[in-house]
Structure 1
Amino acid sequence: MKQFLVACILLAETLCGYSQSKISLQEDSLKVLGTQFTSDSLESNRIKANYDFIRLFVSSLKEKNSFAYPYSQLTNFISIKKSDDDKFRTFTWFTQLDDGSYRYYGAIQINNPNKLELYPLVDNTQNLKISDNLADTTLQTNQWYGAIYYNILPVLGIKNPYYILFGWKGKDLRSNSKIIETLSFDKGKPVFGDQVLEDGQKPNDFHSRIVFNYTKDADMMLKYVKNDKIIVFDHLVAPSDKLKGMTDLYAPDLSYDGYKFKSGKWVFQENMKLKNLPEESDDLFIDPSKDSQNTSPVIKN
């Protein structure tokens, strides 16, 4: 009996090693496609490479124990973030079109050792642009407000646990966005939109997501400060009185607002006095047009 158990363990380790080796070979091909969909000079080639990437990536994720594989060779092309509780991880990336606009792609992989549990994220930005209620809308994974997620903050130990996602979103040739998104699970399926973020102008009015628009000529800080247990971000203002309301041209004014956690929600804090100013080097995607060497997305370390 003991010999049988040893044989089973050895077989399982062999199969696991085979799967990891196969994923590694697939990763080499994915890296080539990633280089193409971020750097090729022809839009049609970038689009085709991206769809080839998606097909091969899904095939790779179907391999046994894929959740444990880091895909470290792909982090120059896609953002891969795992929740601290090891429940899931997100894959997000974009392709840029010749007119300066962006298309976003992504997926959420659940940590399921028995089978691939993958939820594709379908970019619905174009339809949501005209929504008057974006801040309060519950979105399914096929209605996703596309973004590149660079951090996941779990909010656990409460009756209805959820996650805060920090995102970057290139918009067009003149503006970007930063996003605070909320994610929860309904019967095991991911859903975007928990009303836990207080409105900066209306106390006790809580939203599902907050979108900050700002000029491409500036960088905006948005991050979680672990030591102080706060979410902090640059306060954005118009460059002149004539441009008030034109948020795509807003920029930081060297003051900071934020959110403090209280009773399961995040309460708005204006003009925060920070003891230790967070570093500007967030783990985030920078607008490719600012990378003078090539057009691929860049991650700051």
Structure 2
Amino acid sequence: MTQIRTFLLLLVTLVAISVSAQTLSPQAKAYMRKEEDSMRNYGRQMIMEKTATQRFTADSVFIRMLVRSLKTPNSFYYPFDSLETVSRIYAPDSSFRIFSWQWARDEDYFRQRGAIQMKTSDGSLKLFPLVDMSEFTTAPQDSIRTGNNWIGAIYYGIVMKTFNNKKYYTLLGYDDNNMRSTKKWIEVLSFDESGRPVFGGPYFSMKDGKVNPSASLARYCLEYKKEGRARMNYDQEMDMIVYDHLISESNEPDKQFTMVPDGDYQGFKWQNGKWVFIDKVFDYKLKDGEAPMPSPIKDATGKSDELRLIEQSEKNIQKNQPAKQPATPAKPLPKKVSPKKQAKDNDTY
């Protein structure tokens, strides 16, 4: 009995030490709260300032302050809740979190910033900077990348899957891209044997899709007209990534800035270590003549009416989505640089 009591006392002591090691001290909390207040101001300035030079300066100061504050022991447990211009998403297993945001030079040039902070047992900082190198490639979908040549996105969703006892984290990201089109990304994040992040890989099966099945597809991109408001989210009940099916409003599908939602949905389902393309998420469709159409989506010339397409998409969402909606992601950035309608509402995603 004495040995059991001794063992239980030792166990309680070890648990107490572990919990204590994973919390911020009152002094550390006060310091980080003060840093966060200053960072919040610079975060707003890097979006709201009038000139590119001012925005760039604020962005640089913000990065330095973020890294400095993260060096505080156990900083992983500080949430940075007031940084409204910065996305913060956590891995479902709490093994890391990702900060991401963007800097705009002008209304036609956007670049993302980011960093992955790993959770460590001793509370020390393990940080992987993410450097947007998207402007140096013409084929961003065909390459496996590291944090040093990151494609760039503001992440608003993360899905963890396992295959052959390895964890894969699928990221959903937003990119303002340019003045004519917006991009949304699906990208699988994994970690190599040394624990360093790897972005992309052979995780997409497009047998029934538009992409050539033999082509290399390391990440999936949904690019559409700036005002298109296409959605892409993970539906937990369906266990599927669901996104708007797009059509060209001018019958020019090769021009991504003409693509808008048409009311149908496509998606990806995780099967045997890959995201398998699903052409029709909702199988049921009315036959010709079964549904009234007081306002045709196309005019007499066959040109699509974008406003009606968007309205039809909204109606389809209400009718077909499961009762439990996927979580609405935080807006990546408030608007300043016109005409980029950055995260103007939750429908942006």
TM bin, normalised by shorter chain, reads: 0.7 to 0.9
- How many residue pairs were aligned? 291
Q: 1:146 maps to what in 2?
A: 152
CA separation in 2, counterparts of 1:13 and 1:87? 13
Q: 1:78 maps to what in 2?
A: 86
1:196 to 181, 199, 203: 203
Q: 1:239 maps to what in 2?
A: 249
1:229 to 231, 236, 239: 239
What letter matches 2:93 in structure 1?
Answer: D
**Change beyond 3 A, Cα 1:204–1:261:** farther
SS in 2 for 1:165: strand
**Change beyond 3 A, Cα 1:124–1:188:** same
2:76 to 67, 73, 76: 67
CA separation in 2, counterparts of 1:290 and 1:36? 10
Q: 1:95 maps to what in 2?
A: 103
RMSD over aligned CA atoms reads: 3.0
Tell me the CA shift for residue 85 of structure 1: 0.2
Cα shift readout 1:161-197 (whole Å, capped 9, x = no counterpart): 2110000101111110010011000021101012111
Q: 1:122 maps to what in 2?
A: 131
Tell me the CA shift for residue 299 of structure 1: 6.4
SS in 1 for 2:141: helix
Q: 1:216 maps to what in 2?
A: 226
CA separation in 1, counterparts of 2:65 and 2:239? 40
What letter matches 2:108 in structure 1?
Answer: G
CA separation in 1, counterparts of 2:171 and 2:21? 36
SS in 1 for 2:221: strand
Q: 1:32 maps to what in 2?
A: 41
CA separation in 2, counterparts of 1:284 and 1:271? 28
Q: 2:173 maps to what in 1?
A: 167
Structure number, greater radius of gyration: 2
Q: 1:46 maps to what in 2?
A: 55
CA separation in 1, counterparts of 2:24 and 2:262? 56
Which structure dedicates a bigger proportion of its chain to strand?
1
Asked whether the 8 Å contact 2:48–2:55 carries over to 1, the reply is: yes
Cα shift readout 1:26-45 (whole Å, capped 9, x = no counterpart): 00100111111111112211
- Structure 2: stretches of 5+ with no match in the other structure: 1-8, 284-318
Cα shift readout 1:109-150 (whole Å, capped 9, x = no counterpart): 00014210000000101012x23xx32311010100010000
Cα shift readout 1:79-135 (whole Å, capped 9, x = no counterpart): 00001100110000001122431121000000014210000000101012x23xx32
CA separation in 2, counterparts of 1:260 and 1:113? 34
Asked whether the 8 Å contact 1:34–1:53 carries over to 2, the reply is: yes
Question: Structure with the greater relative contact order (CA < 8 A, sep ≥ 6): 1 or 2?
Answer: 2
Tell me the CA shift for residue 18 of structure 1: 1.3
Q: 1:177 maps to what in 2?
A: 183
What TM-score does the superposition give when structure 1 sets the normalisation length?
A: 0.87
1:277 partnered with 2:321? yes
Asked whether the 8 Å contact 1:221–1:280 carries over to 2, the reply is: no
